[in-house]
Amino acid sequence: MPKKLQEDSTLRNLVIITGLSGSGMSSATNAFEDLGYFCVDNLPITMLSTFSRLLQPNDQEVIAIERAALVINIRERHFLGDFLAEVKKLEKRKLKPFVVFFEASDDVLQRRFSETRRPHPADTGKGLLPSIRSERKAMDEIRRTADLIIDTSEHTVHTLRRLIVEKFSSTAEGTPLKVLIVSFGHKFGNPRDLDLLFDVRHLPNPYFEPSLKDFTGDHPRIGKFLGKHPEVGETIDRFAEMLKYLLPFYKREGKSYLTIGVGCTGGRHRSVMVANRLRDELKKEKYNVSVVHRDMQK
């Protein structure tokens, strides 16, 4: 964490997100929300002092918000006239907000507005570029007083999130990656929103063993049967090694949730057993991982 952030603990309590329209403030807000900040978008500047009381303990022992990130921008009509004055009011109450100013080049802002087809808030009918330059000029004083200026011209949503996590996370790891493994049967359809899919229909099927047919993959007898076949252990090992290789990259790109599907024909035996084994392997690596067996009881 940067030295300036470490020196003043109040900086982590209240972050004000402001800057140029189209510079990535919404993406930054999502990152702060993932870090556990209570986020408010488009807070009226005149409400800043009132809201800040929630960050300070009082005699009534009302539970205070530990950390908040507030988006205040030029779309709020009193913004330019009252912003600096309202921030100074907080400083008199010994609560110094950390102001992060987001910006980007004119070309990048033009492209972003063209892609979204949204009107620029400073548009007076003279066109997009004059509107961008007008807002940049109007925001100059606020920019000069900001604690941190972030130019998002070269950032993607993922790299911007990573930057926010690195600068404002209380831990070096940032937000934890939560992994969900879903076992299922292909004949009932694939689960939605899978990030990765492993098919285990190539493994020996306990369904065709009369004495095993009625058990599920959770039962030790199914595990024993599958464990007799070398390809089962090798498949699990290779899947596990692949996940151990890939998960750090997903985390680095800012992914908070990863859903992995493991499918067999009916979703009762092979996929259940393999999903459980993958869960156990990932837990050894200290991942936050859970399992859902969608079709095990069908």
Among candidate residues 141, 168, 195, the one where a domain is terminated:
168
pTM over 0.75: no
Establish if 196 belongs to a structural domain. Answer: yes
| Predicted pLDDT of residue 209 | 93
Given a contact cutoff of 8 angstroms between Cβ atoms, the answer to whether 186 and 201 are in contact is yes
Count of structural domains within the chain: 2
Q: Is the pLDDT of residue 68 over 50?
A: yes
Q: Is the pLDDT of residue 12 over 70?
A: no
Output the DSSP codes for 145-192. H-SEEEE-TT--HHHHHHHHHHHH-SSTT-SPPEEEEEEEEGGG-PPS
Establish if 298 belongs to a structural domain. Answer: no
**118 lies in the same domain as 192:** no
For the domain that residue 7 is a member of, what is the CATH number? 3.40.50.300
**156 lies in the same domain as 47:** yes
Structural domain that includes position 101: 3-168
For strand 288-293 and strand 196-199, is the pairing parallel, antiparallel, or unpaired?
unpaired
pLDDT in tens, 131-182: 999 899 989 989 998 999 999 998 888 888 888 887 887 655 556 788 999 9
Establish if 182 belongs to a structural domain. Answer: yes
Tokens of 266: 């009916």
Q: What's at 29, amino acid-wise? A: T
Mean pLDDT of 93-109: 90
